[in-house]
Amino acid sequence: MNQQGHMESYGQPQPGYQGYQQFAYNNQHTAGVPTSQYGPYNGPVQGYEPTAAPQGPLRPTSGAPPTSLPPSTAAQSTAYNQYGQGDIQNGPAMTDQMQRFPVSQSYMPGGQPIAYQQYAPSPSNAQHLPNQMAAMQISGSTSNAPPPVSQSYGPPTSHRQTTASFPPTGPAVYTQYSTPLQNISSSIPQAGNPPQHPFPGQTVPASTYTSPPTSTGLTGMNLPPPPGVSRPTAMHGPPLPGQSQTGFPPSQPPTGHYPPQPNHRPAAPQTGMPGVVPGPPTQGFQVHPTQPSQGFIPQQNGSFGQMRAPQPNYAAPYTGTPSYSSQPQSQQKRLDPDSIPSPQLNELPPQQKTRHRIDPDAIPSPIQVIEDDKSNRGSEPFSTGVRGQVPPLVTTDFVVKDQGNSSPRFIRCAAYNLPCTSDMAKQCQVPLTAVIKPLATLPADEAPPYIVDHGETGPIRCNRCKAYMCPYMQFIEGGRRFQCAFCSCVTEVLPHYFQHLDHTGKRMDYYDRPELSLGSYEFLATVDYCKNNKIPNPPAFIFMIDVSYNALKSGLVHLLCEELKTLLDYLPREGNAEESAIRVGFVTYNKVLHFYNVKSSLAQPQMMVVSDIADMFVPLLDGFLVNVNESRAVINSLLEQIPEMFGDTRETETVFGPVIQAGLEALKAAECAGKLFIFHSTLPLAEAPGKLKNRDDKKLINTDKEKVLFQPQTNFYSNLAKECVARGCCVDLFLFPNQYVDVATLGLVTYQTGGSVYKYTYFQAQADGERFLNDLHRDVRKVIGFDSVMRVRTSTGIRATDFFGSFYMSNTTDVELAALDCDKAITVEFKHDDKLNEDNGAQIQCALLYTSCSGQRRLRIHNLSLNCCTQLADLYRNCETDTLINYFVKLAYRGVLSNPTKTVRETLINQSAQILACYRKNCASPSSAGQLILPECMKLLPVYLNCVLKNDVLQPSAEVSTDDRAYTRQLAISMDVAETSVFFYPRLLPVHKMDVDSDDFPVAIRCSEERLSKGGIYLLENGLNLFIWVGMNTQHDLIQSIFNVQSFGQIDSAMSALPLLDNPYSKKLRSMVDMIRAQRPRFMKLMIVKQDDKMEVLFKHFLMEDKSASGGASYVDFLCHMHKEIRQLLS
């Protein structure tokens, strides 16, 4: 295509343009931002002169007055007495804690007669799994490999043809800018850090493991309490005689997302549902014959030990299962796959006789754990006032009340009881890790963090460690000084911040100040917290659109330009501001770059072409970044004309590096932070900085060189990323590839600048437009902080040593983020550097300094206090497996940059085996070595770990592309706990069991083919994929109601949207799909899969409990393998 021709058509001479070379932005190469730019953030605090500054007014972001924040003391104390959970969790060290924790003090007034539960000998909180040898019916030997994920389905998505033509006005302003080619180094790509816990691998493939028949199985043994394990009896059921049961009426129904499901039997056939087919028999949980006939179900949480999170006196959900604690033997469930010959052995086919089969219903069920947590913990708010509480699971719908610790929506930990010594930590191998999501979106019924303005003196901080004022700081000497909870240093209270203490030592203004009473809040930052001590300009968004042949042909450019016209009305705004402060700019590119002047005073946009892309610069300042409302006419005109302008292009080559450089230079010139939205279709083969070659080579899979596939092929982009971070330039990348584009390299800048990668393989506007536009909308509109730095401070004894996520670090403590949005999480690992203390616990403070969408500089503070323990049993009782898995995913996905995937898989297995073996050795009751005993809080570790091991990144099937693996790797590395949870173990909902009269979803079933009924319809989602699977025997009525056809055979599996039918089943299912999509950060395209259809193999890829086509073990086989690993460690 003739660029010059376009230039002649569109260019106009413009004032200031000729002088462009006088601007100094051409060759500005700025080194990384020195940390000193954040002087007060990292360094000494200024402004401690005793000025009579006004007392910091509160600026709540919502309408509620700040004083109403924490509920009244009286109400709180009542609530806590009812549950007493804090007392249990904290142990008997309450007095000391009260000194340390003014927060919990108010909620725990003196004289707590029922605060301490009676401790009584109780059975181990282990899970003893039964020796059930029923024949398994897993038919999961799917020999077919799944086809590529990217399929083209979808309804016609209409997009308006842009008919306006670009008016040929004005003379050309095209100038050839020639500068010498940059010397592009091509040294070896940087490898990531190796996994933290290398362990010599034992290389028994899980899929070939056969359990040796050895030890004797035990059932129903009455065990003494293990040493060091003492637990409140109330955890196991109703209160003991004399214990108060008040305050929690047993009749109170849980208000969680799901209705209570006593005993979790298969739901009765739904009333009013046509064509309902009962689920397969395997959906029920069999009552073990040795169980007492009290409605006790083997899979019930609590049946294998204590509840996941202690809830003494929490009577309601347990009314049907009395007296666990008095019948310890009834809880002993043991799995000893090695010990007992299967009673069904003779009934098995000959090839199965060599193996003992385990009843899948007898091994820990993710669904059971999820449902138990929902019914146990979803009905009451989770109040954060007590140290070290394990929150409800991410799958439970619950309300959080901030009472001095951050909501689990902001911080979630793998362990809420940290071991006191590093020796203990090494022994148990449980990673001490937190997943932090600083800008997480809260539900509508939870107030966003309050904004505190301390005026020109800025936030109050510890003089020594610079920790921010928080509920853990202890005011002393009548309030004149405070002692830091993190470093113990004593700091003078500034006169304007002084306040008298009440008789308990608490400041009188405790409830008026979020920073004294809440776990999460924000400070307005002063100019000292700004780069170069200058208040930042509002950020900018630059849309950079590939206009090469592929992008035009797929319909992308038309679709995007049409959408941008309306999308620009939804740029993020500050609070109730009438319009967004964010300015926008536009660039198109193929082998050359086209900049557009869209200044409001122009009648038509002007294009400027830069064809010498070797040393990128921006040919215009004035008119490139504009206010949308002021320049709307010119912008709309541009968006109308771009598809026309390039409609007949034959240019197939693109550049990529210069595109990012151009955006970066534009932000530099405008002296603002911002985000580039790059819409890109091909491998950048054109001669330019950052040019790439096709180096895809699937033969490297399972070799020592496999890591190369995840590494960038040049360090050009690493260097560029560094510069982007220093300048607050975040890059979001929307990829539309028809072949290999090297996501590992193209995504690097995105990954290191806190951006997001989206990938639409074989994109066609009609089929994939809905997904793309939904993603784009959400991406443009979401809450985002620019030019951010995150620092995690800890109390003495532990420190943050490792960080995982989409960011850049130039030193060991500051997580630098060109931008951070509401979806991004950062996983932090802590290590001991001293002993911890049970009385003091451990405190974490995460401070995120960022620029808001209006250019306001702010600090968001999250605080969390954890318990510390000297008994390993306490640690294992207060763990969170979902968070542990999140950490393992990130550890593994970083590990593949420098290790063969086999090594990474073995490292995970070994660390997990050590965790479970340590429990077995130190916490579980003495028993046969042949028994697999799992800690209650970690009983899903094997099944979830197996899902991670089987994922395409670590164990790809033949059809998975190198780009898909790199893409998944980059996505997962910034996922929060809820996302990793569903991504690795998908949600599978029996649609035919939905209750059309309720807002609830049907109870999910386990991800295994044997759980699917031929007469059923199922919905499966994992945050990225959404399927509806239809069994071939589904009743015609139901098919008619949902698909508007008469029979199974007539269902069109190419549809990507359900027909809009006016009946309760269609409405309910469509509303379920909408709700699920709304819960996830990315839009999921719907795929219809019919039983035995060729697409079914793709669906089966997500049935994680089954053996996978790529050789991944079934859950049962993997559990046996883990058992063997544990036994080897114990022997």
By C-beta, is 464 or 481 nearer to Zn ion?
Answer: 464
Q: Where do we find the tokens 């309050």?
A: 450
Rg (CA), the chain: 30
* In the complex, least distance from residue 793 CB atom to Zn ion, rounded to whole angstroms: 8
By C-beta, is 465 or 847 nearer to Zn ion?
Answer: 465
**Torsion angle, CA of 133/135/137/140, rounded to 10 degrees?**
60
Residue 489 binds Zn ion, judged by CB under 5 A: yes
Q: Rule CB under 5 A: which of 437-476 touch Zn ion?
A: 462, 464-465, 467
By C-beta, is 464 or 1036 nearer to Zn ion?
Answer: 464
* In the complex, least distance from residue 864 CB atom to Zn ion, rounded to whole angstroms: 16
Q: Rule CB under 5 A: which of 652-691 touch Zn ion?
A: none
* In the complex, least distance from residue 504 CB atom to Zn ion, rounded to whole angstroms: 23
By C-beta, is 481 or 705 nearer to Zn ion?
Answer: 481
At 37, phi and psi to the nearest 5? -65, -25
* In the complex, least distance from residue 400 CB atom to Zn ion, rounded to whole angstroms: 27
* In the complex, least distance from residue 94 CB atom to Zn ion, rounded to whole angstroms: 25
DSSP result, 920-988: HHHTSPS--TT-BEEEGGGTTHHHHHHHHHHSTTTS--TT--HHHHHHHHHHHTT--HHHHHHHHS-EE
By C-beta, is 715 or 863 nearer to Zn ion?
Answer: 863
Question: Residues 290-319: x/- map of binding to Zn ion (CB under 5 A)?
Answer: ------------------------------
DSSP-derived 3-state class of residue 9: helix
Alpha-carbon torsion 164, 165, 167, 171, what sign? positive
Q: Are 1129 and 917 in contact (CB under 8 A)?
A: yes
Among 484, 655, 721, 1086, binds Zn ion (CB under 5 A): 484
* In the complex, least distance from residue 467 CB atom to Zn ion, rounded to whole angstroms: 5
* Displacement of CA 111 from its chain's centroid (Å): 42
* In the complex, least distance from residue 301 CB atom to Zn ion, rounded to whole angstroms: 41
Residue 1051 binds Zn ion, judged by CB under 5 A: no
Q: How many CB atoms lie within 10 A of CB 615?
A: 18
* In the complex, least distance from residue 828 CB atom to Zn ion, rounded to whole angstroms: 19
Q: CA–CA separation, 947 vs 984, rounded Å?
A: 6
Burial class (CB in 10 A: 0-12, 13-18, 19+), 352: middle
By C-beta, is 486 or 521 nearer to Zn ion?
Answer: 486
Alpha helices by DSSP H, 692-742: 716-726
Burial class (CB in 10 A: 0-12, 13-18, 19+), 262: middle
Size of the site for Zn ion (CB under 5 A): 8
Q: Among the candidate windows 483-491, 594-602, 664-672, 694-702, which touches Zn ion by CB under 5 A?
A: 483-491
The enclosing H or E element of 782 equals: none
* In the complex, least distance from residue 461 CB atom to Zn ion, rounded to whole angstroms: 8
By C-beta, is 486 or 497 nearer to Zn ion?
Answer: 486
By C-beta, is 796 or 962 nearer to Zn ion?
Answer: 796
Among 486, 497, 523, 717, binds Zn ion (CB under 5 A): 486
* In the complex, least distance from residue 462 CB atom to Zn ion, rounded to whole angstroms: 3
At what angle are helices 941-950 and 881-895 packed, to 10 degrees?
30
* In the complex, least distance from residue 812 CB atom to Zn ion, rounded to whole angstroms: 19
Burial class (CB in 10 A: 0-12, 13-18, 19+), 109: middle
By C-beta, is 484 or 625 nearer to Zn ion?
Answer: 484
By C-beta, is 462 or 688 nearer to Zn ion?
Answer: 462
DSSP-derived 3-state class of residue 231: strand
Residue 861 binds Zn ion, judged by CB under 5 A: no
* In the complex, least distance from residue 485 CB atom to Zn ion, rounded to whole angstroms: 8
By C-beta, is 435 or 842 nearer to Zn ion?
Answer: 842
Could you tell me the CA-to-CA distances from 470 to 49, 418, 764, 843, 861 in Å, in that order? 21, 21, 52, 11, 9
By C-beta, is 159 or 862 nearer to Zn ion?
Answer: 862
Q: Rule CB under 5 A: which of 39-68 touch Zn ion?
A: none
By C-beta, is 465 or 1028 nearer to Zn ion?
Answer: 465
Sequence-distant (6+) residues with CB within 8 A of 579 are 573, 627, 628, 629
* In the complex, least distance from residue 469 CB atom to Zn ion, rounded to whole angstroms: 11
Q: Are 732 and 778 in contact (CB under 8 A)?
A: no
The residue among 141, 395, 140 whose CA lies nearest residue 282 is 140
By C-beta, is 691 or 793 nearer to Zn ion?
Answer: 793
Q: Among the candidate windows 97-105, 488-496, 596-604, 1011-1019, which touches Zn ion by CB under 5 A?
A: 488-496
Q: Where are the beta strands (DSSP E) in 327-368?
A: none
* In the complex, least distance from residue 780 CB atom to Zn ion, rounded to whole angstroms: 40
Q: CA–CA separation, 217 vs 224, rounded Å?
A: 18
Q: CA–CA separation, 385 vs 519, rounded Å?
A: 9
Among 145, 487, 1055, 1129, binds Zn ion (CB under 5 A): 487
* Binding region for Zn ion (CB under 5 A): 462, 464-465, 467, 484, 486-487, 489
